Chain A
Amino acid sequence: MDEKNPLQKKSIKANRSEEGFFGEVKKFFLKEEHKVQDDLYERLNEIESLLASSDKLDKKLKPHFDKHLEEHVTYLQENYPDLFGKYMATAIKKGIKDSQEEIIDALYPIIGKLISKFLRMELEKLSQMIDQRLQDPFSFDNLKLRVKALFSGVSYEEMLITRMGRPQVEEVFLINKENGLPLGHFSIDSVTQPQAVAGMLTGIKDFVEHAFEKEDTELETLSYDKYEIILFNFETFYFATVVEGKPHAIFRKELYDTAMNFCEKHPIWVKEAITGASQAQVGEALKDHFHEINQHPK
């Protein structure tokens, strides 16, 4: 049974009239909000239709994208080395490592041409120097060389070429064999600490000679880059001559003869391991003997 009592009916009626009243009040007060809501619905519909049509979307977004894209490209162009430099370097290194053979194949002809050009230039220089010599066949030096060639059996041209590429004596140390102290020293350019150099030379010499434990053998040459240190060993001392260039047998003989001449000329210095002379005195004497080789080759 759905019948309500009169009191209930009265209450429902009152409620209905209240709803109508409050509805009107709500409408009045929320008028603005409803308008906003309607606007939002309308805007939402517009966006939905915009998203549904790609042409319209493109037109809307393109100007923004273009602007940002341009900014990014400029930034990347300006900061590329900082941002990607190390990755690029690693990639290049790996690339080179992985394709060494191809790179060598590609570079070989270019390097070959450069070397060939360099050699041609050097040979031209040598040829010019020989020409200059030959243009003056009656100079004292040339006549001397011709006579020497005649008696030594070595051809004049060969002697001339040997003379062109002649090594230079850069430094000479006379060193006490026992304690490694320099007895005298001569140098074309000044050496900062001849005592330390003489000490190290002696240390290296002793080390090598004892490391191989061969009886009665002594270190005779040390080579480094374009220099050679030629050692002449005597009983209580040794000469260490620093030579620039590749010394051939004739030059070595000349050096040895000079060292022997020095010993003959200063027998007391040599006999007493040069304790009686100052290092400066010995240095001057070494200069007199060995500098002569650079100035006036025999």
Chain B
Amino acid sequence: MKSTNILNKKIALLGSHAVGKTSLISRFVEGIFPEKYLSTIGLKVDTKTLQVDDYQLDLVIWDIAGQDNPARIPHYYLNGCSGYIYVVDLSRPSTYEDIVSRLTLLKGMLPQAPFVVVGNKMDLLSSQELEEIQTNCPVEIEITTSAKTGDRVEELFSMLGKKLIHTHEH
């Protein structure tokens, strides 16, 4: 019988305003705090436990209010963050056109933290349009999701979970 290791990790969802960060979390967890916190202190925290390989991964997910420029994210909200998901809206090019500089800035703030770039709102586009965006996007969009339909949302968090475990083991 395999033993289960328990890992507690703080992760954050980042990206421009209205890309669907809160909707992705709502699809993934049953929240306990109301969304009004996002407009007051710019933050809402939820939790979710994932089983990834031999690990029980207790994720504490910080939903940080959207900022186009990562430099404007309150740095103290990112303290001790083990990984993050950078969300872009596939239907709005302005949310990923400047992605290289935004990710560079975030890598500087969280040098050790693994991350996943996700294209949300895939339900609004045809498969041909999706292919074109993925080809033209300056960085690799590792996964596309739809918070509206729930498509591949679990997969997104598992993907980050695997990266977190990999970082933890090495």
Measured between C-beta atoms, what is the minimum distance from B142 to chain A in Å? 24
Whether B10 and A196, one on each chain, are in contact in the complex, defined by CB atoms closer than 8 angstroms, is: no
Minimum Cβ distance to chain A for residue B86 (Å)? 19
Return A192 CB to nearest CB of chain B, in Å: 7
A199 to B59, alpha carbons, bound, how many Å? 11
Scan residues 165-180 of chain A and give those whose CB is less than 8 A from a CB of chain B.
176, 178-180
* Contact bitstring B26-51, A, C-beta under 8 A = 1, else 0: 00000011000100011111110000
Q: Is the CB of B151 closer than 8 A to any CB of chain A?
A: no
List chain A residues, Cβ under 8 A from B8: 181, 195, 279
User: How close is A262's CB to chain B, nearest CB, in angstroms?
Assistant: 20
Question: What chain A residues lie within 8 Å of B46 (beta carbons)?
Answer: 196
Binds B, one of A61-69, A201-209, A250-258: A201-209
Whether B79 contacts A179 by the Cβ 8 Å rule is yes
| Given contacts A178-B79, A206-B76, A210-B74, A199 and B10 within 8 Å (CB-CB) | yes
Contact: B45 with A179, CB < 8 Å? no
Inter-chain CA distance A200–B77, complex, in Å, is: 11
Q: How far is the CB of A179 from chain B (nearest CB, A)?
A: 3
- CB atoms of B45 and A200 under 8 A apart: yes
Is the CB of A53 closer than 8 A to any CB of chain B? Answer: no
Contact B60 A181 (CB under 8 A): yes
B138 at the interface (CB under 8 A from A): no
Cβ-neighbour of A206 out of B33, B77, B82 (below 8 A): B77
Q: Which of B32, B42, B80, B82 contacts A196 (CB 8 A)?
A: B32
Question: Does A190 interact with chain B (Cβ within 8 Å)?
Answer: no
Q: Which residues of A are found within 8 Å of B62, using beta-carbon distances?
A: 180, 199, 203
Q: Does B154 contact A (CB under 8 A)?
A: no
The answer, yes or no, to whether B153 is at the interface (CB within 8 Å) is no
CA distance A181 to B9 in the complex (A): 8
Q: Is B68 located at the chain interface by the 8 A CB criterion?
A: no
Number of A-B contacts (CB under 8 A): 62
Q: How far is A181 from B41 in the complex, measured between Cα atoms in Å?
A: 19
Q: Is the CB of B45 within 8 A of A192?
A: no
Which of A102-129 touch B at CB < 8 Å?
none
Q: What per-residue 1/0 map shows which CB atoms of B44-81 lie under 8 Å from chain A? A: 11110000000000101010000000000010110111
Q: Which of B1-22 contact A (CB under 8 A)?
A: 6, 8, 10
A248 and B33 CA atoms in complex are apart in Å by 30
CA distance A207 to B37 in the complex (A): 12
Partner of B10, one of A179, A204, A207: A179
CB-nearest residue of chain A to B41: A207
Q: Which of A148-201 contact B (CB under 8 A)?
A: 176, 178-181, 192-193, 195-196, 198-200
> Which A residues from 196 to 246 make CB contacts under 8 A with B?
196, 198-200, 203-204, 206-207, 209-210
CB pair A193 B32 closer than 8 Å = yes
Q: In whole angstroms, how far apart are the Cα atoms of A200 and B43 in the complex? A: 8
Q: A200-B45, A203-B77 are in contact. List 15 more A-B contacts (CB 8 A).
A: A176-B80, A179-B60, A179-B80, A179-B81, A180-B60, A181-B10, A196-B33, A196-B45, A199-B10, A200-B33, A200-B44, A203-B43, A206-B79, A207-B43, A210-B76
Give 13 A-B contacts (CB < 8 Å), ordered by A residue. A176-B80, A178-B79, A178-B80, A179-B79, A179-B80, A179-B81, A181-B60, A199-B47, A199-B62, A200-B45, A203-B43, A206-B77, A207-B43
7 nearest A-B pairs in the assembled complex, by CB-CB distance: A179-B80, A199-B45, A178-B80, A206-B76, A203-B43, A179-B10, A207-B41
Binding site for A on B (CB under 8 A): 6, 8, 10, 32-33, 37, 41-47, 58, 60, 62, 74, 76-77, 79-82
